[in-house]
Structure 1
């Protein structure tokens, strides 16, 4: 398949610019296997689960990863953290009117300096004069996606973060999890649904466009994942009792399927560049809760691989016609593996 196969028309006013008033206040499009689409509310989600199912969440925590600095010439620089390396070094996306130079450090808030080291494709390696995580936690702002056309507000510090986030390292939220509040989690548990966690630190590369039409030529950005022995054991027990492994978000799908590339699910710690397109054979995940994704994006390609190309693209056309809210702060869809 080609990139343009995943195009669809989206009115700009359907791109959610703010979260719903309540976390679980959005809509939910259900794609049953052999029935018409169902227009629901997210509060209906626990009713789509069965006792013995397993919800798998991504517990990454979003770092306030965007800061602004000034070059010695007075030029403005925006730094968006991608990941922390060792020795106070970071990889970052940098926006500046002219290239950075090693001999001209960027002045950042709190008297911290960032010095250019080298380039890694689209990313800049920088050396900070302070411990990076502590610096960004104190001076950074939440890195809202580029399609949210406003500055981060105070409310975003909590709403662009899942209620179960605990492992700092992401610069974008695993957005399917944003719909869950304590009440929804309690209702799932009361129904006999179990839960476990994996970690995928979402990078800013998740918003990068696919630049080639031939999908076989696309190289995925790397993201760090951790799939524990406890998560693997919970999934094995679910499969043994006939329950479904329900991934909360595409990041969970990529984590679990990456950890199963040897043929069976195994604990895994490291990077993944797994690119899932139609024709991929899924090994672990049975059902998926996910938000609506950008046209021609790798995330939409993954969802089409999971739910069926015609079914998913038809569901997107339905969502546009029914004026669902799209992308990070938008509504969700629930589907089972085809």
Structure 2
């Protein structure tokens, strides 16, 4: 039932910019009891040999302004399809049809509409010359989520909405749990003996889409491209075989690992490398095979990510944690505070 994942959140608690410094954000530790701490305390809850899995995706300025003749169209690039083509979400585009061309404002780039699969989506072709897409992105805006309000784009968001690990361009939303990391926090984790494995999941715009059907089983996730390399899988598998814990920094890292681990029966069996698309929708009852701990921000009511954290930590614990966070004035969503969740038995 969808109402189980709802909660009341005062608008004043929706963070409009990150904590400064980033690692000064608060951390709600969710285990048998709740504990109010700070992100800098994260090493206190980890052990030597634990493996921290981070997502190295880089957010691109994917929000483009375009024209179809005299009509203005907003384009949100969602997922690279290869050879200069992109799956995109369109606004003000009811009359846009296959074969139309969209002129990207602020650049000389042109995108041809190859397909209109469903609803407000389209497959756009920027051509085989990479320079055309580069021009389009140079004119683009950072795709901040709709609950972060800006009268005009802020230059600071190009850095604020990027994690310390960002290396591989392709995301249209940040893996926000990693926004809290700073060099001094990484140094403290390394001093504790925490290892790190790097994966990639290019976060798509579907991360912000609400679940609308009361029967959550009818919801369908947007596909997102991801990769677990042989090297990262080896680091993770060695730890699992030795009984060491896996901390996923963000729901994106967790969804990728659990996608790769589907079908594994023994939790210590090796997770194979993976490269491709994931549409994994995690809801209560899901059997976790890879992750032991999850660092994640607070999520939107009735969202797929609320269902994921409820599946991971237990619905009752999550309901209590969110009620506590609201009462204690924690900051919510992408630029907000963090939670550290222990996997329910």
Q: Same fold (TM over 0.5)?
A: yes
Query: What's the Cα RMSD here?
Result: 1.5
CA distance in 2, matches of 1:104, 1:224: 27
C-alpha change, 1:232 and 1:88, in structure 2 (3 Å) is closer
The Cα offsets for residues 145-193 of structure 1, whole Å up to 9 and x where unpaired, read as: 0111114311111110111111111110000000001110111001110
Name the structure 2 match of 1:42. 39
The correspondence for 2:319, drawn from 297, 313, 318, is 313
Give the secondary structure class of the aligned counterpart of 2:24: coil
1:293 aligns with 2:299: yes
The correspondence for 2:79, drawn from 75, 83, 102, is 83
CA distance in 2, matches of 1:98, 1:276: 33
**1:63–1:136 Cα contact (<8 Å) kept:** no
The 5-angstrom pairing of residues 317-336 of structure 1 reads 317-336=323-342
**Deviation of the 1:9 alpha carbon:** 0.5
Give the secondary structure class of the aligned counterpart of 1:254: helix
Alignment gaps of 5+ in structure 2: none
Name the structure 1 match of 2:19. 20
CA distance in 2, matches of 1:330, 1:290: 10
Name the structure 2 match of 1:6. 5
Name the structure 2 match of 1:203. 204
The correspondence for 2:272, drawn from 251, 255, 266, is 266
**Deviation of the 1:102 alpha carbon:** 4.3
The correspondence for 1:105, drawn from 80, 101, 106, is 101
The Cα offsets for residues 309-331 of structure 1, whole Å up to 9 and x where unpaired, read as: 00011100100111111000000
Give the secondary structure class of the aligned counterpart of 1:335: strand
Give the secondary structure class of the aligned counterpart of 2:295: strand
Alignment gaps of 5+ in structure 1: none
CA distance in 2, matches of 1:224, 1:262: 20
Structure 1 ranges of 4+ moved more than 6 A: none
TM-score (norm 1): 0.95
CA distance in 1, matches of 2:153, 2:334: 14
